[in-house]
Chain A
Amino acid sequence: MRLLTHNMLSSNIKGVTNGFPLLIEVEKVVEKQVDFNEDFLRNMFAKIEWKALVEASRTMGYTELPENSESSMLNSDEFLRKFHHALLELHLEEGALVCPETGRKFPVNKGIPNMLLHEDEV
């Protein structure tokens, strides 16, 4: 699971109002090289919750992202490379996503988060 996907997921449990971002429990992180595409990063930048990405990448052991971001930073190649790495190349292979409100864990196995709910959570 890429951190881009983490940035798009929130807790889907019935009654939860602050389900984003999900906390990450790391068992295993893998890095996979992904082709660099500047246009894609520019398109995604507006959709990303920056703070959640910074926190998530730190949890995964990557501390290079600046605390705050603004669109002018997209002119910097160095910034784009870091953004690219954090967003696409860090994968949570094994671990869990944790609902920030209830503590309910959604397992991540072989890089796939399981967001299925129990009957009493729907």
Chain B
Amino acid sequence: MLSRTAQIRLMSSHPEVYDPCDDSFALVDALLADRANLVEHHPSICMEVGCGSGYVITSLVLMLGEDSTGCHFIATDINPHAVGVTRKTMEAHGCHAELVTTDIASGLEMRLAGSVDVMVVNPPYVPTPEYEVGQFGIASAWAGGENGRSVIDKILPVADKLLSDKGWLYLVTLTANNPSEICLQMRKKGYASRIVLQRSTEEESLHIIKFWRDLDTQLEPPIPTITPNGSSGGNGFLGGGRNY
């Protein structure tokens, strides 16, 4: 059977590029678990912001399989080395995404507004001093500033602008990022959300959150609280009428 995810032995690497790690695997596992929905969703444009080594975008192309011919894949990274590594990783897997070296989606925002059906983001979420944020090279893969939220908070409005009416966003967060507050912020923009995967590693507690536009969202009961040990209260749904 054809592999549905990128293979480590085919991954390219570079000293200035973050290798796939627990967070990348968690995001890909969350996408795999949601694969049937993704196929059903028939996305025309899928985008990854911050593609790093290319593990996630390559896996997304592979898991959509034959359906991927009906889809345009775009991946960006602020680190030119990362985009170069993604290019090699994709070539090694025999698949293609359009790559752009840029800060989040700068240069794409005007023309791609309202067009992205699936966006995946594994942002730099590690709490660090603010001056470490936005530097070139490998630090851009993790340095997240105060509470690890500096870059996430820049990405969310861009995602809101780019996502189509049926657009879905998958976002990797850490407990320290205050995921419930992120959900609340997105809810004010009209998004329902659900924690699609939780995983505690030796170092961190990861939550993969899926967001989708939902006009009924603001009528829903309060969002679940997420405790520091990684368990969520309630059923983890922040949904309105539809649930993905």
**Contacts from A to B (Cβ < 8 Å):** 1-2, 4-5, 7-12, 19-20, 32, 34-35, 37, 39-40, 43-44, 47, 49, 106, 110-117
Contact = CB atoms under 8 A, between A and B. Distances in A.
12 contacts: A8-B111, A11-B107, A34-B96, A37-B70, A40-B70, A40-B72, A47-B115, A49-B111, A112-B83, A112-B99, A112-B101, A116-B103
A116 B84 contact: no
B70 A39 contact: yes
A108 B231 CA distance: 46
- Which of B69, B74, B84, B98 lies at the interface centre, i.e. has the most chain A CB atoms within 10 A of its CB? B98
Interface of B: 44, 69-72, 74, 78, 80, 83-84, 87, 96, 98-103, 106-112, 115
A37 B100 contact: no
Task: Tell me what chain A mostly uses at the interface: helix, strand, loop, or mixed.
Answer: loop
Given A7-B111, A8-B108, A114-B101, 10 more contacts: A8-B111, A12-B102, A12-B107, A35-B69, A40-B72, A44-B44, A110-B84, A112-B100, A113-B107, A116-B78
Contacts, number: 75
Nearest to A110: B87
A49 B115 CA distance: 14
Interface of B is mostly: mixed
Contacts of B106: 12, 115, 117
B195 to A, nearest CB: 31
8 pairs of A and B residues whose beta carbons are closest in the complex: A115-B107, A115-B102, A12-B107, A114-B101, A8-B111, A5-B98, A35-B69, A40-B70
Nearest to B76: A115
Given A12-B106, A111-B99, A40 B111 contact: no
Contacts of B112: 8
A7 B107 CA distance: 11
B87 A112 contact: yes
